[in-house]
């Protein structure tokens, strides 16, 4: 198979080929074969250092996009600063059009209004800002650190897809938690500080909960009502 083929009608064959490659090869191929601008998104969550390090080893100046809802943990903001300094990240921050105070003044605490409220909140605070910044940067190919083992909704995550007019690449889709842990250890990279306090999936303060025995990772987010905020479904 031509390693540079990117035809939409051959996504299955391309994914089969990528499945036989390691993550470094997947990244190198995508950076060469897929159209720029190349962008990496990160929530700076529990294991985010792995994908950030993996991509910046290949393209040190790759734009790294963070959606800052204004409701992240203080520890997350500190972690962002730590990794930006450690990896010299080219960070781009997307923010909602409304500040947290203004959003609540207009709409109330949407995350307390069931799944419909959560969906509305995620559209305003995450999906729209991400759509806007990807367009402003002129993104042709979007890299993300999604992994199949993170939740039932991600079990079929492909290495490569074409969504809403741009390519999307998930180079560590088949990595397990052990794979991530070994990568972090090999490169002396940190977990998110809250990892040591039982947080396995970390987002906004109001919809993130510490893991307890009997819970699945996906149950620690959004009160168990949903797993995806829409960033990787609607953008």
Beta bridge partners, 161, equal 168
Q: Give how far Cα 196 sits from Cα of 94, 169, 221, Å.
A: 28, 29, 17
Round to whole Å and give the CA distance between 8 and 34: 12
**Tokens standing for 140?**
């042709």
Give the contacts of 183 (CB within 8 A, at least 6 positions apart): 50, 53, 54, 175, 189
Residue among 120, 122, 132 at smallest CA distance from 94: 132
Residue among 166, 183, 196 at smallest CA distance from 79: 196
Maximum CA extent, the chain: 56
Q: Which SS3 state, helix, strand or coil, does residue 59 take?
A: coil
Catalytic residue among 80, 127, 189, 229: 229
Pairing of strands 90-94, 38-41: unpaired
Round to whole Å and give the CA distance between 82 and 76: 10
Whether 84 is catalytic is: no
Active-site residues, by number, are 229
């Amino acid at each position: 198979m031509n390693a540079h083929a990117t035809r939409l009608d051959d996504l299955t064959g391309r994914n089969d080929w990528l499945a036989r490659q390691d993550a470094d090869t997947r990244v190198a191929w995508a950076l060469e074969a897929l159209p720029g601008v190349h962008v990496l998104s990160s929530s700076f969550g529990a294991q985010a250092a792995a994908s950030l390090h993996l991509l910046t080893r290949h393209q040190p100046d790759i734009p790294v996009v963070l959606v800052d809802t204004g409701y992240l943990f203080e520890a997350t903001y500190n972690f962002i600063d730590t990794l930006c300094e450690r990896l010299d990240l080219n960070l781009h921050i997307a923010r909602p059009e409304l500040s947290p105070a203004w959003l609540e003044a207009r709409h109330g605490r949407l995350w307390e209004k069931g799944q419909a409220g959560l969906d509305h909140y995620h559209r305003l605070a995450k999906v729209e800002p991400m759509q806007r910044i990807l367009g402003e940067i002129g993104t042709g190919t979007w890299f993300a650190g999604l992994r199949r083992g993170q939740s039932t909704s991600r079990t079929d995550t492909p290495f490569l897809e074409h969504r809403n007019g741009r390519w999307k690449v998930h180079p560590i889709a088949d990595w397990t938690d052990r794979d991530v842990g070994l990568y972090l250890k090999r490169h002396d990279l940190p977990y998110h500080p809250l990892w040591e306090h039982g947080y396995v999936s970390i987002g906004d303060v109001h919809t993130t909960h510490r893991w307890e025995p009997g819970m699945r990772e996906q149950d620690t987010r959004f009160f168990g009502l949903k797993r995806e905020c829409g960033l990787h479904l609607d953008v």
